[in-house]
Chain A
Amino acid sequence: RKEVEQDPGPFNVPEGATVAFNCTYSNSASQSFFWYRQDCRKEPKLLMSVYSSGNEDGRFTAQLNRACQYISLLIRDSKLSDSATYLCVVGYNNNDMRFGAGTRLTVKP
C-alpha cells in the first residue's frame, strides 16, 4: 500500500465549477502537509501548506483530518489556468517528505 494515495483522475470540469481532491496517508506520525501543483513537463511548485485548523487562499481551501488521516483541496470557480496535476505531500520526520502520485485536473471552457 502506498504511503500517500490520491485519486489519479483525470477530473474534467467546466470553467466556474467547484472541484475537490482527497488524499489519504498511512503514517499517523505525519507532521506536515502540503499541496503542490505540477504543470505538464515542469517542476512541482508549492500551492499551499495545510494546517490543522484548515486554511484558505483565495479560491483554494485545504482541510486536514488527522483522525481519518486525509487531507483535501477544494478549488472554487475553476479557471482554465487551474489545469494541472495536484500533488499531495506528507512529511513525517524532519527529512522525509512523501508524495502522492498526483491528481490530474483539466478545466474546459
Chain B
Amino acid sequence: NAGVTQTPKFRVLKTGQSMTLLCAQDMNHEYMYWYRQDPGMGLRLIHYSVGEGTTAKGEVPDGYNVSRLKKQNFLLGLESAAPSQTSVYFCASSYSGANVLTFGAGSRLTVL
C-alpha cells in the first residue's frame, strides 16, 4: 500500500520555466491538498480538492494552478516559476475535510 506518492522528489528550475508536480493516492480519499513548507512559516495550503473535477484556492494560491481529473491524482502546476517558489511541497489526502491527513514524502523545488 503506497499511500501518497509525489513525483519528482527534487527539481531545479530557472526563473520563468514551468513544471508540474504529481500527487497520487491509493486510499480512495475524496480530499487532496497541496501545501508548501518554508523555514519558520509552517505548512501553508496552496490549493485543495474535495473531489474529482473540483478544486479550490487555499491560503497562498498565487502563481500555482491545479487539476483533479481523476480521483486518485492531484497535479500542481507552476506556469512561470519564481525564486519565491523555492520550497518543499507536500501533497496530502484525507477521507473527509478537517480530518487526519496522510502526506506524501515531499518534493523539494529550487528556482534559480
Q: Do A and B bind each other?
A: yes
Cβ 8 A contact of A49, one of B41, B56, B100, B104:
B100
Q: What string of 1s and 0s marks CB contacts (under 8 Å) between B1-31 and chain A?
A: 0000000000000000000000000000001
Interface residues of chain A: helix, strand, loop or mixed (majority): strand
Residue B109 lies at the interface, judged by CB distance under 8 Å to chain A = no
Query: Would A43 and B106 be within 8 Å (CB), given that A99-B43, A101-B40 are in contact?
Result: yes
Are B103 and A32 neighbours in the complex by a CB distance under 8 Å? no
B8 to chain A, nearest CB (A): 15
Do residues A95 and B101 form an inter-chain contact, with CB atoms below 8 A? no
* B side interface size, CB within 8 A: 24
From B56, B101, B106, A97 is in contact (CB under 8 Å) with B101
Which residues of B have CB within 8 Å of A34? 100
Interface residues as binary, A90-109 with B (CB distance below 8 Å gives 1, 0 otherwise): 01111111111110000000
- Report whether B42 and A101 are in contact in the complex, using a CB–CB cutoff of 8 Å: yes
Which residues of the other chain, B, contact A99 by a CB distance below 8 angstroms?
35, 42-44
What would be 16 A-B contacts, judged by CB atoms less than 8 Å apart? A8-B40, A31-B98, A32-B98, A46-B101, A87-B42, A87-B43, A89-B101, A93-B97, A94-B97, A94-B98, A95-B98, A97-B45, A97-B101, A98-B42, A101-B41, A102-B42
